[in-house]
Structure formats: C-alpha cells, structure tokens
Amino acid sequence: MNWYLIWIVGFLLLLFAVSLRSSKTVKTADDYAMADFKLGFFPICGSIIATVTGSAALIGGAGKGFEMGISYFVTVISFVLFTIVGMLVLGPVIRKLRLFTVPELFARRFGKLSALIPALIIGFLYMTPTFGMQLVGMSSILSSITDLPFFWGIVLGFAVTLVFTLIGGMPSVAWTDAIQTIVILAGVVLTLVMGIAYVGGPGVVAAATPQHLVSFGSIGFTELLNWFLIFGPFYLVWQTTWQRLTAAKSTKVGVSAVVIGFIISGVIGLLAIVIGITAVQAFPAGTAPDAIYTSFIAEIFPGSIGGLLMVSLLAALLTGATSFLLSGAINISKDIYEGWINPQAKDAQILKVSRLSVGFMAVLGLVVALLVKDIIAIYQIALAFTASALVAPVLAAMFWERATKAGVIVSTIGALVASLAWRLAGTPFGIHEIAPGLVASAVLLVVVSLATKHSDDETVIAYYHAFRRGRLTSDKVPAEGQVASAAEALLAEADSAPDAAAPRDSASTTFDSKPRG
C-alpha cells in the first residue's frame, strides 16, 4: 500500500472541500483579493506561517543546515526582527491606508507612474519565480514518493495550485493556509525528534557534528552580513504581509497575527536548520542539499507516518504557491489594469481580471519552474533585487515628506542597475549585490529629491507622521493631479470622513497632509 499517495490524496481532497466552502463568500473583487477585510486572527496567523515556511524555509533551510550549520540561522533572526519592528511601527499605518499592494503606496504618494516599476518588480521579478520555486519543490516530493516524472510533477502542482487559487481567492487561501499550518508544525517537530533518535540521540549529534556546523560565526562576518541583508530588509516590503494585515478585521488583530505568525515561523525555520545539522550523521557529505529534508523523512519513517510528514511539506509548498500566485495576480489586476488600462473599471471587471491574472501568472511560473535548478539561489535573487529597489522609497513615503516622484523613479531604477552591475562584476569583496543596491537606492533618492520639485500628481505627505498626529483621516486614494495640502485635504473631507472599517473607494478623494513650508 502506498501510504504516501493515500495521505497526499486525502489531504488534497480536504483542502478542496475547504476551498469550495470558502468560495461561496466571494461576491466582489474585495472578497476575492482581501476576504472583504474580515479575516480573524487564526486565518491570518496561519496564512503567514504557512506562506513563510515554504520551500525556502523547509527544503532550503534543512539543506543549508546540512551545508552551513547554525550560521544560516542569521537569516531567521533577520526576517523575524525586521518584520516585528516593521509591523509594530508601520503596521497601523498600512492598515489605515488599506493597501492591496505595495505599488499602491507608490501610486498614492508619488503618482501612478512611480508605481509601474514596483508592480512589475513584485509581480514578475519576485512573485513569478517564487511561485515557480514552489512548483519545483512539489514536484521533488511527488517524484520521490511515486513514479511520476519530474516534469509531470511540476505540471500537476501547477494544476492543483491554479484550481485552488481560482476557486476562492483570499478566503480560500487564508483558511487552507491555516489548516496546513497545523500539519506543517507537527511535521517539522516530529521529523526533528525522530531524526535525532534515529542517528543515536542528542549526545551523538552533539559529539559527532563537525564544529563549524555548530559555531554561529564560522562563515565569517561578511557572509553573516550578506545573509542578514538578503532576508531582512525585504520583509519590510513583503507584499504578502501587507495584504494579510489589510485583510484583517481590525488593526489589532492584523498586527498581532502577523507578529506572532513570524515568531512561530522563526521557530520552524530554526527546527529545519537543526534537522539539516542532524542529517549530517545519516548522509554523506556529497548529498544534494535540496534532497536532505525529503530523504531524511524517507529514511527514518515507515510509509504510514512518512506519508503524513510528506504531506506537511507538500502543504508548505502548496500554500506558498497559492499565496504568491494570488499576490502577483493582484499586482496585475489592481496596479496595472485598474491603475493604467481601465481606471474606471467596475467591480465585476476587476474580479474577472483578477482571475485571468491568476491564470497568466501561473503559466509564467510554470515556465520558470521548468528552468529552475537551485531553490535558494533563485530566492536570493528575487529577495535582493526587490528589496534593493523598494525599501528606500517605501520608507520615504512613510517618513520623508521632501521625497519627490523623480527621486523615487531614479532610485528604483538605479537600485536595479547597481545590483545587477555588482552581480555581473562578480560581487567584489565578497559583498552581496543587495548592499550596493540598497545604498544606491537611498543615495539617489535623497540627492534627486533635493534637486527636484514635487510633481502635480504627488500627494505631499509623510504617512507615518500624519498618522501619529491624527491627520491621516481617510483610507481613500487621492485624486490624480492633486498635490494635497492640509487645507485642501480638510476641505475635501470635512463633510464626509468615512469610517475606518468602510469598504475602499478607489476613485475617491485624498489624505490629510502636512502643509509645505
């Protein structure tokens, strides 16, 4: 009896049932993309955990633990630290703005032209390859436990993910993620405990593991800094976090769910690394890192239990794929279609384009999946280039009123050019390309902004400071061509400031902003 196949088929049937149930709530584009802003703590927290602990965290984390040891934990410290600080400081502001996507912040603050490049970066440079990365991971699992060829494993993963996402959108994704979180956490803990027992117990692991694998600084300061920068800054602008926060039924629920979700994700990430270190006792040094996690499960468990653990891994990959697919599709439907092609689009049109975008993104991801060879390598590139281009402009929108549209556009393009040039030059001094990218972005933003004036379609405001002063009085999008001053904003909203929980109106007026000196 093929227990692996029985567990996987049973689990997929359960998820389809949940997905179909959730799909009944989808009536509008807001329902599809944001669950009508009514998600509670459990689905948000679970969705964060399930999405963070995808192939990079489990397959990649175990592989890096096998290769690098505990030093790889610096990545976990980095993304958890940056996210917690970012959410505690900026979470309430993001929630107040009701942002569907990160580029939407660019459009509101700096005009819609400034949002086009971020939309393309997130949708195609990050979401597409990371979706493809999950398909590769799913195929690796399926091909290791069945006779299914690797190519058809990718195709099957593509089909299942596409159907899940098309059926129910955010309600389906969030609730299936929450269910999968339980399976993921149980699977990682059981694999670690039984794995340690399999190789002889904690004493054997402690005594036989090479010293460099248990020494945090064994890879050197430069490499620690590289890994810290690759993962940390990116999570300040991780669109998945922003969307989950916005979809929450309240600011308190959203921020607490995201923070706790990342803390638990950090624990799971650490466990995956320790699994990789433990596996050193079971596999020869030349074993492919990306095969460590699945091979360890197959080695130590009978099919009846191993099938459940394979399901936990498949769950992590599936949930990451659905989240990345939905998020990237929203970039197309909201930032590109509604922002540029049809600004007056009706809700039914946006919902239709959202679903068509899911299919389009899925096909692109499928193409990438068929070309991907190294999971962690492609993830590094996606994180590095996205963070380099977007972190400084996002912080400027939040904290620096003097930032201009020209400064942001030059900063975004300049960061990509600097990162690419540094990579093509062979990463001089051993410094990863994200570092020069972040520096170039910040310098260009400041220099060009100070040398240029605000354009007519900007909203001149520092959102964080406006929020802290109680002057961020609306979640509506500023009218195009308007540079908001305090007097203009107050006049526009004096008669009709909406309730914070009201649905968004993407064609409405403005934000309250600080008057220019």
Predicted confidence (pLDDT) per residue in 165-221, tens digit? 777 566 666 666 677 778 778 888 988 999 999 998 999 898 899 999 999 989 999
- Mean pLDDT (the chain) is 81
pLDDT of 260 over the 90 cut:
yes
Give the lowest-confidence range in 260-274, 303-317, 429-443: 303-317
Beta bridge partners of 248: 39
Give the lowest-confidence range in 321-335, 392-406, 494-508: 494-508
pLDDT in tens, 319-364: 778 777 777 777 787 778 877 788 887 877 877 887 888 888 888 8
What are the C-alpha distances in Å from 97 to residues 135, 423, 501? 33, 36, 11
Compute the C-alpha angle 465/466/467, nearest 5°.
Answer: 90
Where does 123-201 have alpha helices with state H? 128-145, 150-198
Distance (Å, whole) CA 187 – CA 141: 14
Higher pLDDT, 19 or 138: 138
What pLDDT score was predicted for residue 176? 66
Give Cβ neighbours of residue 477 (< 8 Å, ≥ 6 apart).
Answer: 104, 107, 108, 504, 505, 506, 507, 508
What pLDDT score was predicted for residue 495? 36
What pLDDT score was predicted for residue 474? 47
Give Cβ neighbours of residue 158 (< 8 Å, ≥ 6 apart).
Answer: 135, 362, 365, 366, 369
What pLDDT score was predicted for residue 450? 97
Q: 274-296 burial string, b = 16+ CB within 10 Å, else e?
A: bbbbbbbebbeeebebbbbbbbb
Give Cβ neighbours of residue 207 (< 8 Å, ≥ 6 apart).
Answer: none
pLDDT in tens, 47-102: 888 778 876 788 889 999 999 999 999 999 999 999 999 999 999 999 899 887 89
What pLDDT score was predicted for residue 391? 96
Higher pLDDT, 145 or 364: 364
Mean pLDDT of 465-471: 89
What are the C-alpha distances in Å from 177 to residues 15, 43, 165, 202? 9, 7, 12, 32
**Confidence band, pLDDT 50/70/90 cuts, at residue 267:** very high
What pLDDT score was predicted for residue 76? 95
Q: Which CATH superfamily is domain 3-19+31-376 in?
A: Sodium/glucose cotransporter (1.20.1730.10)
Q: What is the CA radius of gyration of the chain?
A: 23
Whose tokens are 């769910």? That residue is 257
Distance (Å, whole) CA 400 – CA 80: 25
Distance (Å, whole) CA 195 – CA 176: 28
Of the ranges 53-62, 146-155, 211-220, 486-495, the best mean pLDDT one: 211-220
Higher pLDDT, 269 or 334: 269
| Boundaries of every domain in the chain | 3-19+31-376
Distance (Å, whole) CA 129 – CA 3: 31
Mean pLDDT of 228-247: 89
- pTM (two decimals): 0.80
pLDDT of 33 over the 80 cut:
no
**Confidence band, pLDDT 50/70/90 cuts, at residue 105:** very high
Distance (Å, whole) CA 278 – CA 206: 9
Distance (Å, whole) CA 119 – CA 331: 6
What pLDDT score was predicted for residue 172? 61
Q: Determine the 3-state secondary structure of 248 from DSSP.
A: strand
**Confidence band, pLDDT 50/70/90 cuts, at residue 491:** very low
Of the ranges 139-148, 387-396, 488-497, the best mean pLDDT one: 387-396
Q: Determine the 3-state secondary structure of 39 from DSSP.
A: strand
Two tokens at 329? 């599709």
Distance (Å, whole) CA 46 – CA 264: 10
Give Cβ neighbours of residue 202 (< 8 Å, ≥ 6 apart).
Answer: 196
Two tokens at 222? 């430069």
Beta bridge partners of 39: 248
Distance (Å, whole) CA 270 – CA 274: 6
pLDDT of 271 over the 60 cut:
yes
Q: How many CB atoms lie within 10 A of CB 140?
A: 23
What pLDDT score was predicted for residue 100? 77
Distance (Å, whole) CA 493 – CA 513: 12
pLDDT in tens, 404-453: 999 999 999 999 999 999 999 999 999 999 999 999 999 999 999 999 99
One-letter amino acid identity for 439? V
Two tokens at 176? 């299936």
**Confidence band, pLDDT 50/70/90 cuts, at residue 10:** confident
pLDDT of 389 over the 50 cut:
yes
Structural contact between residues 395 and 449, judged by C-beta atoms closer than 8 angstroms: no
Q: How many CB atoms lie within 10 A of CB 427?
A: 14
